[in-house]
C-alpha cells in the first residue's frame, strides 16, 4: 500500500490527523492551501487554530466523504442548539473554504415546504325538532326564517366528523351560494345563526358553512318531526 502523507491540525490543544485525500476533498480549501502550497505548514505538516474542536470533528467526517447533515445534537457542544450548531458549522465551513459544506448547510437551513395535499374534513351537525313549520308552502322560498330563529338546538343536537368521501355521498344539500336575493340572504343568515348555537364561532375555529338539509320525516302519532342537517368544512394539513 502506498504511503499517504498525514497532517496534524491542533484545535485548542486537541490534535486531529488529516490525510492528503481528506485535504483534497472539496478543494481548493484552507487546508490544501496551507499543507500543499508554499506556506511553512507544508514543511511542518502541522497547523494550530483556535476553532471549535467539536465542530471540527464533524468536518473531519465530512472530509472523509460522509453525510453529516442533519446534525446529531449529541455531537455538538452543550451550549449549542441544533439550529445554532448548523449556523456555526456553516461559519466554520466558510472559514475553511469548504464550498460544498457551505452549500449543504445553507440548503438544509432553508424552511422545508410540505408537498402534502391538504385534506378536507367535514363536521355534521344534526338536530330533530317537533311540530314546527320550518318547511312551509306559504313561507318565501319554502323556509320559515322565524321558525329557524326560534330553534334551540344547543343541548339536543349531535355531531360527528366525516371524510371527504362520506361528504360526497350526502344528497340534497342546499348551499349558501344557492341564494342570491334578499329573502335568500335572510335564510342564509338564519342558518348561520342556528349553526352558531351548536358550534359557537365556527369560522374563527377554521370551519365554513357549506350547506344544510331540512326535511320532514314520518309522523309519530300526533307529532311531526323535522330533521335538520348542517355541514361544516375545514382544512386539515397532514403532518410530515
pLDDT given at position 110: 77
Identify whether the C-beta of residue 23 lies closer than 8 Å to the C-beta of residue 11: no
Distances (CA, A) of 47 to 13, 14, 41, 59, 63: 11, 11, 6, 16, 17
Task: Note the pLDDT tens digit of each residue in 12-25.
Answer: 999 999 999 999 99
Task: Please give the mean pLDDT across all residues of the chain.
Answer: 88
Could you tell me what percent of the chain has a pLDDT over 70?
A: 92
Per-residue pLDDT averaged across 119-133, rounded? 90
Pairing of strands 225-236, 119-130: antiparallel
pLDDT digits (tens, 9 = 90+) for 41-59: 878 899 999 999 999 999 9
* Average pLDDT value for residue range 218-231: 83
The SS3 assignment for 71 reads: coil
pLDDT at 236 over 60: no
Which of 64-73, 78-87, 110-119 bottoms out in mean pLDDT, i.e. has the lowest? Answer: 110-119
DSSP of 117-148: PPEEEEEEEEEEEES--SB-TTSGGGB-HHHH
Per residue in 140-191, pLDDT (tens digit) is 888 999 999 999 998 899 999 998 889 989 998 999 999 999 999 999 999 9
Q: What is the pLDDT of residue 119?
A: 73
pLDDT at 238 > cutoff 50: no
User: Looking at residues 87-98, what average pLDDT do you find?
Assistant: 95
**Mean pLDDT for the stretch of residues 193-210:** 92
Q: Does position 90 have pLDDT exceeding 50, yes or no?
A: yes
Domain with CATH 3.30.710.10 in the chain: 6-109
The whole-number average pLDDT for the span 109-127 is: 76
Mean pLDDT score, 111-118: 58
Q: Strand ranges (DSSP E) for 66-201?
A: 119-130, 158-163
Quickly state the pLDDT bin for 1 (edges 50, 70, 90): very low
Which listed CATH number (2.40.50.140, 3.40.50.720, 3.30.710.10, 3.40.140.10) goes with 6-109? 3.30.710.10
Rounded to two decimals, the pTM is 0.50
Amino acid at each position: 500500500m502506498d504511503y499517504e502523507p498525514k497532517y496534524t491540525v491542533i484545535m485548542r490543544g486537541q490534535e486531529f490527523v488529516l490525510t492528503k485525500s481528506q485535504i483534497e476533498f472539496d478543494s481548493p480549501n484552507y487546508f490544501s492551501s496551507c499543507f500543499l502550497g508554499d506556506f511553512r505548514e507544508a514543511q511542518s505538516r502541522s497547523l494550530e487554530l483556535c476553532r471549535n474542536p467539536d465542530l471540527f470533528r464533524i468536518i473531519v467526517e465530512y472530509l472523509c466523504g460522509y453525510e453529516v447533515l442533519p446534525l446529531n445534537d449529541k455531537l455538538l457542544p452543550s451550549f449549542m442548539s441544533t439550529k445554532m450548531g448548523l449556523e456555526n458549522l456553516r461559519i466554520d465551513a466558510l472559514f475553511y473554504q469548504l464550498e460544498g459544506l457551505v452549500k449543504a448547510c445553507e440548503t438544509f437551513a432553508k424552511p422545508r415546504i410540505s408537498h402534502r395535499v391538504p385534506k378536507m374534513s367535514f363536521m355534521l351537525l344534526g338536530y330533530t325538532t317537533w311540530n314546527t313549520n320550518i318547511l312551509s308552502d306559504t313561507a318565501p322560498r319554502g323556509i320559515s326564517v322565524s321558525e329557524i330563529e326560534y330553534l334551540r338546538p344547543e343541548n339536543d343536537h349531535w355531531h360527528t366528523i366525516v371524510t371527504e368521501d362520506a361528504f360526497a355521498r350526502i344528497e340534497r344539500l342546499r348551499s349558501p351560494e344557492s341564494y342570491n336575493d334578499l329573502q335568500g340572504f335572510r335564510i342564509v343568515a338564519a342558518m348561520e345563526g342556528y349553526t352558531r348555537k351548536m358550534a359557537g364561532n365556527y369560522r374563527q375555529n377554521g370551519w365554513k358553512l357549506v350547506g344544510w338539509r331540512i326535511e320532514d320525516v314520518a309522523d309519530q302519532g300526533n307529532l311531526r318531526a323535522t330533521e335538520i342537517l348542517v355541514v361544516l368544512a375545514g382544512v386539515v394539513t397532514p403532518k410530515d
